[in-house]
Each structure stands twice: as C-alpha cells, then as structure tokens.
C-alpha cells in the first residue's frame, strides 16, 4: 500500500527541484520560456528593477501616509458638529483614500517584467508580475505591427545580447529578453515563425 504522505512529500520535492532547475536555467541563459494554452511567456532571470523597487517603496509609504491621514481627518472631534467642517472633512478623506489606495495598488504590482506572446489574440504584451502571481499589463502590441525581430549584441558585456522587436518601421523597440546570443536566436526564430503564421491568418481571413 502506498503511503500518501510519502507521495505528497515526493511530489513537493519534485516540484521544488523543477522550480530550482528552471531558475538555474534562466540564470545561465538569461531567460526562460513558459508555454501556455494561448502562446508563451518570456521570463527574465528574476532580477528586480532597482528603480522600480525604489519607486514602489516610496509609493507604499506615501500611500500608507495618505490612508492614515484620511482616517485622522475624518475622526477630528472639533469638526464633528460643524456642518461646513463635516463636508470638508468628508471630501478631504475621500481624496486621500483614493490617492492612498492608488499608490498602494501601484506598489503591489510587482517589479519583475515579463513578455507575453499571445498567439490567440495576435498580440505581444509587456507586463509586471507581483509576488502573488497577478499580472498588470503595461503595453500591448499587435503582431501585425511588428516590423522586425533582432538580436542586438551587448557592447559592455561579452557573450550577452538582447532580443528586441521593432514597432512597424520606426525606431521604437520592445526588449523581449536578455541572455546568450545562441539562446536568443532560437527564441527569435520562434517569434519569426509566429509572425509569419499571423500574417498568413490575416490574409486568409
């Protein structure tokens, strides 16, 4: 008879091992690809954007201050019996609650950027993922608006490169991933095939 607790423990160990293996692979090649039913996600090596971390920390502190201030204003006893004071207090509290709530939401969006290549919807999305697994979309680009896919080698770090998409025929680009040129070339070929298939589907439709 199989011990269920042993199976669960073995499964947890296996999942932890696979997670660490994927993280290790991302560290080596600079990124990893997660396949989904609608396409795939390009994850970075898990490093956080320092500027984003500082901005979200400041937003969290400021948001908490505004929320505390709204409570303090609403509970001011000297304005409790004054009709004008009550209206001013209620209005100020609502404003500070909205500002504080928005800043706290901004601070909880996450600091790790990922790229979603959605074949079903025919678009590329740049998103932030929070620690809870929720994503916030920062931008959307239709596959038919992609003018090219390029591997740009780094001049500062030898053996490193970036995979970028060019928006139409403009100078605007979107970085998909960073890592080793050989690994990026494989991802470039995959995205290139998806762009070709997307164009064929549009022409057929």
Q: What is the pLDDT of residues 100-139, one digit of tens each?
A: 999 988 888 877 889 999 999 999 999 988 777 788 898 9
* 147 shares its domain with 199: yes
Q: What pLDDT, on a 0 to 100 scale, did the predictor assign at position 188?
A: 92
Q: Once rounded to an integer, what is the mean pLDDT over residues 131-159?
A: 85
Q: 159 lies in a domain?
A: yes
The DSSP string of 51-98 is HHHHHHHHHHHHHHHHHHHHHHHHT-GGGSS-HHHHHHHHHHHHHHHH
* 162 shares its domain with 180: yes
Instruction: State the total domains in the chain.
Output: 2
The CATH number of residue 24's host domain is 2.30.29
Do residues 140 and 123 make contact, with C-beta atoms less than 8 angstroms apart? yes
* 64 shares its domain with 41: no
Specify the 3-state DSSP secondary structure of 151. Answer: strand
* 96 shares its domain with 147: no
CA distance 126 to 114: 6
Query: Taking the CA atoms of the chain, what radius of gyration do you get in angstroms?
Result: 24
Angle between helices 83-107 and 50-74 (to 10 degrees): 160
Q: 119 lies in a domain?
A: no
Beta bridge partners of 40: 35, 117
* 148 shares its domain with 196: yes
- Residues 63-101: pLDDT tens digits? 999 999 888 887 776 555 566 667 777 788 889 999 999
**What pLDDT band is residue 195 in, cutting at 50, 70 and 90?**
confident
Token pair for 165: 């998409």
Question: Which of 9-23, 61-75, 100-114, 191-205 comes out lowest in average pLDDT?
Answer: 9-23
* 39 shares its domain with 61: no
Q: Edge to edge, what strands does the sheet with 173-179 contain?
A: 146-153, 161-167, 173-179
Q: 24 lies in a domain?
A: yes
Domain that holds residue 87: 52-107
Predicted TM-score (pTM) of the model is: 0.67
Q: Final residue of a domain: which of 65, 83, 107? A: 107
Q: Final residue of a domain: which of 64, 83, 107? A: 107
H/E segment holding residue 19: helix 4-29
Between 124 and 156, residue with greater pLDDT: 124
Residue 154 has pLDDT above 60, yes or no: yes
Q: What pLDDT, on a 0 to 100 scale, did the predictor assign at position 79?
A: 54
Q: How does the average pLDDT of the chain come out, rounded? A: 79
Q: 103 lies in a domain?
A: yes
Which of 22-31, 105-114, 120-129, 158-167 ranks highest by mean pLDDT? Answer: 120-129
């Amino acid at each position: 008879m199989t011990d269920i607790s042993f199976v669960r423990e073995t499964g947890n160990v296996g999942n932890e091992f696979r997670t660490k293996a994927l993280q290790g692979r991302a560290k080596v090649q600079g990124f990893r690809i997660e396949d989904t039913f609608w396409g795939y996600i390009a994850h970075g090596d898990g490093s956080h954007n320092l500027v984003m971390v500082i901005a979200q920390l400041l937003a969290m502190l400021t948001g908490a201050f505004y929320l505390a201030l709204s409570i303090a204003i609403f509970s001011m006893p000297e304005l409790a019996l004054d009709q004008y004071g009550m209206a001013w207090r209620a209005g100020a509290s609502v404003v500070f609650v909205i500002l504080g709530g928005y800043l706290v939401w901004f601070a909880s969006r996450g600091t790790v950027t990922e790229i979603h290549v959605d074949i079903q919807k025919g678009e590329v999305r740049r998103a932030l993922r929070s620690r809870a697994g929720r994503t916030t979309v920062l931008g959307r680009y239709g596959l038919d608006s992609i003018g090219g896919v390029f591997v740009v080698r780094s001049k500062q770090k030898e053996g490193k490169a970036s995979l970028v998409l060019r928006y139409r025929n403009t100078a605007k680009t979107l970085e998909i991933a960073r890592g080793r040129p050989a690994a990026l070339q494989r991802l470039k070929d995959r995205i290139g095939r998806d762009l070709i298939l997307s164009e064929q589907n549009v022409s057929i439709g």
